[in-house]
Amino acid sequence: MGEVIVVTSGKGGVGKTTTSASLACGFARRGKKIAVVDFDIGLRNLDLIMGCERRVVYDFVNVINGDCTLKQALIKDKRFDNLSVLAASQTKDKDALTQEGVAKVIDDLKNDFDIVLCDSPAGIERGAFFAMYFADRAVVVVNPEVSSVRDSDRVLGIMSSKSRRAEQGQDAVKEHLLLTRYSPDRVERGDMMSVGDVEEILGVKVIGVIPESPEVLSASNSGVPVILDENSDAGQAYSDAVARLLGETVPMRFLDPKKKGFFQRLFGS
Amino acid sequence: MGLFDLFKSRPKNTAKLAKERLLIIVAQERGAEAMPDYLPLLKRELLEVIRKYVNVDPDAVQVNVEREGSQEVLALSVTLPEKD
pLDDT value, residue B12: 74
CB of A190 less than 8 A from some CB of B: yes
Q: Which residue has the higher pLDDT, A261 or A50?
A: A50
Q: Where are the beta strands (DSSP E) in chain A?
A: 3-8, 34-38, 75-76, 83-86, 115-119, 137-142, 174-182, 206-211
The model's pLDDT over A206-248, given as tens digits with 9 standing for 90+, comes to 999 999 999 999 999 999 999 999 999 999 999 999 999 999 9
Q: Which of A124, A195, A197 to mutate to test the interface with B (most CBs of B within 10 A)?
A: A197
**In 10 A of CB A223, how many CB atoms?**
15
Q: What is the C-alpha separation between B2 and A265, in angstroms, rounded?
A: 5
Residues of chain A positioned with their CB less than 8 A from the CB of B18: 145-146, 193, 197
3-state secondary structure of A206: strand
pLDDT value, residue B84: 63
Please give the model's pTM, rounded to 2 decimal places: 0.83
Angle at A209 between CA A186 and CA B12, to 5 degrees: 20
Residues of chain A positioned with their CB less than 8 A from the CB of B5: 268
* Inter-chain CB proximity B29 and A153 less than 8 Å: yes
pLDDT at A185 over 90: yes
**In 10 A of CB A126, how many CB atoms?**
18
Distance of CA A56 to the CA centre of its chain: 20
Q: Give the length of chain A.
A: 269
Q: What is the C-alpha separation between A73 and A69, in angstroms, rounded?
A: 7
pLDDT value, residue A24: 98
Report the range of poorest mean pLDDT among A49-58, B24-33, B46-55. B24-33
* Among candidate residues A134, A124, A114, the one with its CA nearest the CA of residue A154: A124
Provide CB contacts within 8 A for B49, sequence distance 6+: none
**C-alpha distances in angstroms, A215 versus A18, A104, A227, A233?**
12, 37, 10, 8
pLDDT value, residue B72: 76
The DSSP bridge partners found for residue A4 are: A116
Measure in Å the smallest separation between the Cα of A237 and chain B Cα atoms.
Answer: 23
Q: What is the number of CB-based contacts under 8 A between chain A and chain B?
A: 58
CB-nearest partner of A187 from B5, B11, B15: B15
Predicted ipTM of the assembly: 0.86
The model's pLDDT over A52-106, given as tens digits with 9 standing for 90+, comes to 999 999 999 999 999 999 999 999 999 999 999 999 999 888 888 999 999 999 9
The model's pLDDT over B9-31, given as tens digits with 9 standing for 90+, comes to 666 789 999 999 999 999 888 87
Q: How much is the mean pLDDT over chain A?
A: 94
Q: Residue B76 belongs to what H/E stretch?
A: strand B71-78
* Inter-chain CB proximity A191 and B14 less than 8 Å: yes
DSSP 3-state percent helix, strand, coil across chain A (nearest 5):
45, 15, 40
Where does residue A3 rank: exposed (0-12), middle (13-18), buried (19+ CB within 10 A)? middle
* Inter-chain CB proximity B21 and A146 less than 8 Å: yes
**C-alpha distances in angstroms, A162 versus A39, A96, A157, B5, B72?**
18, 20, 8, 49, 23
* Among candidate residues B81, B82, B75, the one with its CA nearest the CA of residue B46: B75
The DSSP bridge partners found for residue A208 are: A178
Nearest residue in A to B2, CA atom: A268
3-state secondary structure of A179: strand
Report the range of poorest mean pLDDT among A9-18, A139-148, B54-63. B54-63
Where does residue A116 rank: exposed (0-12), middle (13-18), buried (19+ CB within 10 A)? buried
> Measured over all CA atoms, what is the biggest interatomic distance in chain A, rounded to whole angstroms?
65
pLDDT at A201 over 90: yes
